[in-house]
Amino acid sequence: MGAEAALVAIGANLPRPDGSGPRETCRWAVGRLGAIPGMRVVAVSSWWESAPIPPDPNSPPFVNGVALLAGETTPEALLAALHAIEDEAGRARPFPNAPRVLDLDLIDLGGRVLAAGPILPHPRAHQRAFVLRPLAEVAEGWVHPVLQRPVADLLPGVAGQAIRRLGPP
């Protein structure tokens, strides 16, 4: 198996137990992504601030970004590594779409299309500005493996979502 590109969305909107804020947690997560056996971080997007989806007036805004990784792995091994990093950060899962210390989503792995365990590409990536805007920075030529549409063609579909660039990684 040759090296494959992986796109991982990074998000946080709660402080970690050590008091680190969401932006610091996202930066910390990039370091942990680089420690996944067989993988290396190739690029990291800017950080972006976005409103929760679905909207929740009791939830603080998210800090989001996307990391481009390269290496050799399986979807199952990479997803397990992402969950382990979330657990290390102190993530709790009290209910769907709850505010969180860290959220790592596997968006794509080598253009694979899988219907289960994990689902690839991520089933809602094309509907989220907080995924597409940073993804376009690190993989501007990315084409959605199911829709067969480049990221530039998907961006207008999320133009109405509240998001703003915070700055470099």
> What number is the average pLDDT over the span 130-146?
97
Separation CA 37–CA 16 (nearest Å): 24
Enclosing domain of residue 25: 4-167
The reply to whether omega before 75 is within 30° of 0 (cis) is no
Q: 57-66 pLDDT, tens per residue?
A: 888 999 999 9
The CATH number of the domain where 110 resides is what?
3.30.70.560
- Looking at the structure of the chain, the number of domains it has is 1
Structure-token pair, residue 58: 């009791």
Separation CA 143–CA 162 (nearest Å): 23
Q: 75-121 pLDDT, tens per residue?
A: 999 999 999 999 999 988 767 777 899 999 999 999 999 998 899 99
Q: 11-22 pLDDT, tens per residue?
A: 999 999 999 999
pLDDT band of residue 168 (cuts 50, 70, 90) is confident
DSSP state of 39: E
pTM score, whole prediction: 0.94
